[in-house]
Structure 1
Amino acid sequence: MHVLVFVWALSVAICAFCMENKKQVALQARTLLLDDTTYFVGALGTVKDDATALVAYEYFAPCFDSQNEKSTSNPGDLLFLALPASEQWRLTLRPNTTATLAIASSPDMNTVDVRHGHISPAGRLHWPENRPEWRRGMTSKGRMTMYGHMHLVTHSESIDTLGNCFVAHHPDAAAWVPGSPKSPHIAKWVRFSPAEIHYVGGFGDEHFIGSVDMDLYRSVKPALDEHRAPGLYMQTN
């Protein structure tokens, strides 16, 4: 019994030492949206009329952040290119429909999580030698599930600027953007606005697991340090 109490107390102490505060969690969630190791692809889910789930991988782009769209009032929202020919999008675009979006860091163990990596004298990012392999994969890295709604983008939202931003993240998508003569389908720009986020920072003895403070999520200003590594969590001015 005493051993169990000691182990529990030790685990609590470890979590207290390692766990991020609310602002850091919000910053990590926002920064994950900018991390190109995700390839800006997420699993978009909704529910069919027979109550079964429908999930499909879709491109997204963080084009509503202030660094991309200075006039936006929706920091942390995401841009999607919807093709209503797809059942996924027909369901997701129905009125009063909740959409779920799951985004995860790279599962590749060779992609170093900067929260645990160190920089060599040559400027390269490495895993610490004493970090075991089972703490280098997907389960040790940040990921989140976002719950929210889709909104059609109106002409007042700088469609050209947003479209250019999306294509910059996904060059192949230029073939099926709205109005493209190459596309056989109707396409629409859609804004995903999350109302709730469940964030898993990694293993519970190292990182936060739980709900993200949405006020902080909207207010933090994430950025990536391109001179060090993708996905570096930092606060800009």
Structure 2
Amino acid sequence: MIASEILNRALDDLNVNWNCNLTTLQWKMAKYSSLRVQFITSLLVVFPFLVQCALLRDVSRPDDRRPEAAARYARQIMATANIGFLGSLVGSKTHGSLEGYPMATMEYFASTEECLEDGGGDPIFLMSPLQAALQNVFEDNRVSLGVRSPQPQSSLPIVDARFSLVGKLEPLNETMAELVKPCYMRAHPEAKWAYAAHDFKYWVLRVDEVYYVGGFGGEHYIGWIDQETWGSARRGKHDGGGLVYQQT
């Protein structure tokens, strides 16, 4: 009788231990399976990004990191983008409670390099005093213009060149306005209606410096371009002269 009880208890203990070990094994398998799925998912997400980085390394050039090359490529972008975000400081008459805050509005522009024989790459705007940005400028004419490449290199915006022109917005005199008008209208033919209303006039952003981000810091130039370098640059083709990277 005693031997039978001992045997039954031993069998019960064995059954409990077996069930416990089986449960532990199932939990561990589920855990490792989940980690495996996470690892595979991470590879699927990261792999295309790594491929894009490798492709960008292949098309970069030895002098990509030079501000002179960045200035030339930025001037090329200026010739084709024609739209950017103009940053200004909110004036007391625009919105008193936000005076001094930065704000940005989308604006059409054309480059003086396209409009004038000796143009220095400064952007030209056709603006009305009814626009909030211009109302801000009447109180403080310090502005910036954010521009990015209109021809993306990939689905990742972070790899595309972009830059901010920093300077002061000034009105063009009548003589200069007549000189730039044909060029501006070629870039923005829909702006012809502006002459019929709201006292639109031409303004120019006199660039003091440019902050340029060519993409990844290890492959492309990131930093400031001084006024002399910007003004003396001449836009080139994407496949020559040490420009930041090739367009395809």
Given the two structures, how large is their TM-score scaled by the length of structure 1? 0.67
SS of corresponding position for 2:79: coil
Query: Percent identity between the aligned chains?
Result: 22
Measured in 2, the distance between the counterparts of 1:170 and 1:234 equals: 29
SS of corresponding position for 1:103: strand
Across the aligned residues of Structure 1 and Structure 2, the Cα RMSD in angstroms comes to 2.4
Q: Which aligned segments of 4 or more residues in structure 1 are displaced greater than 4 angstroms?
A: 14-18
Measured in 2, the distance between the counterparts of 1:221 and 1:85 equals: 35
Q: Which residue of 2 aligns with 1:51?
A: 100
SS of corresponding position for 2:212: strand
Q: Which residue of 1 aligns with 2:173?
A: 154
1:30-61 alpha-carbon deviations (Å, 9 max, x no partner): 111012xx3x1110111114222221100000
**Residue of structure 1 aligned with 2:183, choices 146, 165, 168:** 165
How far 1:205 sits from its partner (Å)? 2.2
Equivalences, count = 176
Given the two structures, how large is their TM-score scaled by the length of structure 2? 0.64
CA contact (8 A) 2:124 2:202 kept: yes
Q: How does 1:134-213 map to 2 (within 5 A)?
A: 136-157=155-176, 159-177=177-195, 180=196, 183=197, 185-213=198-226
Q: How does 1:73-92 map to 2 (within 5 A)?
A: 74-92=119-137
Measured in 2, the distance between the counterparts of 1:216 and 1:83 equals: 31
How far 1:18 sits from its partner (Å)? 6.8
Distance 1:233 1:31, change over 3 A: farther
1:60-114 alpha-carbon deviations (Å, 9 max, x no partner): 001x21x5312x4x511111001101121111243x52011100113xxxx454x
> Aligned letter for 2:190?
D
> Aligned letter for 1:200?
V
Q: Does 1:220 align with 2:233?
A: yes
Measured in 2, the distance between the counterparts of 1:198 and 1:190 equals: 21
1:134-169 alpha-carbon deviations (Å, 9 max, x no partner): x64221011001111111111232x22311111110
Measured in 2, the distance between the counterparts of 1:16 and 1:168 equals: 33
